[in-house]
Amino acid sequence: MPVDILVGTQWGDEGKGKLIDVLTRDVDMVVRFQGGNNAGHTVEIGDKHYVLHLVPSGIFRENVVNVIGNGLVVDVLGLVEEMKGIAAAGFSVDNVMLSSRAQLIFEYHKRADALREASAGSRKIGTTRRGIGPAYADKMNRTGIRGIDLTCPERLEEQFRREAEKYNKLFSEYGIAQLDIDAEWERVREAAEYLRGHVCDTVYAVNAAIKAGKKILCEGAQAALLDIDHGTYPFVTSSNTVSGGACTGAGIAPQKIRDVWGVIKAYTTRVGEGPFPTELFDECGEKLRQIGHEFGATTGRPRRCGWFDAVAGRYACMVDGVNKLAVTKLDVLDDLDRIGICVAYEINGRTTSEFPASIEELAAAKPVLEWLPGWKQDTSRATRWEDLPENAQNYLKRIAGLVDSTIAIVSVGPRRDQTFLV
Ligand code: GDP
Ligand code: IMO
Ligand code: MG
């Protein structure tokens, strides 16, 4: 059985967690392949609300194996806290596998992240301060510590102390608090003990599952416009968030991939710094934020809100190879008289429908808006395409046409049952 990938196509928080939870109804294995606990994936089941950061969103389904793949940077203490929280809520975490090849995040990475942000001035990224950038930098510098090291306490201690001392030198240069290495090691040692039984060679596990005909779904975190190569560099995260990242980040060969689900919000949001051409600074933006509850699932920061950006969306769907679009949060637009869609950018007097590589050009881009009439009806109870008002159908068709893909799922609320296949 081939593998499907689900990725975000905007600046994150499109509703990936919800869709993974819905799609895992008939999936055997969910695999995260990049990022870390900068992600915040919300799953609502009945009146319960869960936010996942590192554990894949298949965790609420019995019999689903949840893999934290080799491409992640894993906050050791954060993962233990998250798994204990899930277990306390009554779900088994026995089915969580942690890749022996995944990189590990420690307290010093978080401090280095905060330090970089504090000293970056106008180049501040607005990171989640989870240590993502420094941990991936260590990976590329070949000084990182990996999942496999959790299984050997002596080696782990030696590596941890060496790296912590190196970072402490940096902290002292900048005059910020040094890490109490002995106390931190004690916490790491305990966490490693908890995680040891979950560490395995997930690359073999995933490929064995493929060979055995199991259904596998790869869960993207962040989204295309935050991709280190394809996003709004330098205002991006430090991993390959696009679908191609699943091949390297999970150890899956390209010919095993079948469908790419692209999750796309019916409007646009962004947390953190960086250009956002369709951002709304008026009461309409505020309305989207309030009705859509657009506050970060990881940091609680208010999300910046704006109209749907088809230029960015088309670029993302092209790079991701999205053949199945899942449009979320349509219900948030229910009350609007008219809805804007950005169909092109005007940059320094030139009109283009291509997403620019230059951050200065993107910052100068003025959206060319097309207006569609609203539907002024409640869509949150729709259970099939035919239930949607005609104007909502037209809006969705226009989005799909502009990003050159096909709508396969529409989501009209946070719950599992507020989702239908098209
Ligand atoms: P993710 O990071 O892509 O998993 O998305 P987040 O969980 O960070 O943010 C999506 C938010 O929207 C969560 O609070 C979800 O519960 C909620 N949500 C998901 N789909 C819908 C939808 O169709 N309508 C509404 N109103 N909320 C939704
Ligand atoms: P999910 O998976 C939205 C943003 C941060 C910042 C930039 C870099 O829930 O969609 P980082 O901490 O990764 O170095 O921050 O990326 N960012 C996200 N924005 N959703 C996310 O994840 C994000 N993960 C990181 O706000 O702008
Ligand atoms: Mg999120």
Domain borders along the chain are 3-99+200-260, 104-195, 265-421
Fold agreement (3-99+200-260, 104-195): no
Ligand 2 within 6 A of 13 CB?
A: yes
Residue scoring higher pLDDT (136 or 46) = 136
Residue 283 pLDDT level (bands cut at 50, 70, 90): very high
On whether the CB atoms of residues 28 and 206 are closer than 8 A, the answer is no
Q: What is the pLDDT of residue 297?
A: 84
What is the C-alpha separation between 85 and 93, in angstroms, rounded? Answer: 10
3-99+200-260 carries CATH number 3.40.440.10: yes
Instruction: Give the mean pLDDT of 355-378.
Output: 98
Atom of ligand 2 nearest to the CA of 130: 12
Residue 337 has pLDDT above 90, yes or no: yes
220 CA closest ligand 2 atom index: 2
Is the pLDDT at 3 greater than 70? The verdict is: yes
Report whether 203 contacts 70 (CB < 8 A): yes
CA distance 411 to 329: 6
Q: CA-CA distance, 143 to 396, in Å (whole number)?
A: 47
Among 13, 38, 51, 132, the mutation site with the greatest number of ligand 2 atoms within 8 A of its Cβ is 38
Span 55-74, pLDDT tens digits: 999 999 999 999 999 999 99
- Indicate whether residue 38 lines ligand 2 (CB < 6 A): yes
Integer Cα distance of 258 and 87 in angstroms = 33
CATH number of 265-421: 3.90.170.10
How would residue 390 be classed by pLDDT, with cut points 50, 70 and 90?
very high
Q: What percent of the chain has pLDDT over 90?
A: 97
Cβ neighbours of residue 47 closer than 8 Å, sequence gap 6 or more: none
Residues 6 or more apart in contact with residue 95 via CB below 8 angstroms: 59, 63, 64, 65, 66
CATH of domain 104-195: 1.10.300.10
pLDDT in tens, 125-148: 999 999 999 999 999 999 999 999
Give mean pLDDT, residues 245-257.
98
Ligand lying nearest the CA atom of residue 38: 2
Distance 14 CA to ligand 1 centre (A): 6
- Nearest ligand (C-alpha, residue 327): 1
What's residue 254's pLDDT?
Answer: 97
Which uninterrupted H or E stretch holds 247? helix 245-250
Confidence of residue 1 (pLDDT cuts 50, 70, 90): low
| CA of residue 39 to ligand 3 center, whole Å | 5
- Can you give the C-alpha Rg of the chain in angstroms? 21
CB of 39 within 6 A of ligand 2: the answer is yes
Ligand positioned closest to the Cα atom of 34:
2
Q: Are 325 and 405 in contact (CB under 8 A)?
A: yes
Our mutation pick for probing the ligand 2 site, out of 34, 226, 299, counting the most ligand atoms within 8 A of Cβ, is 226
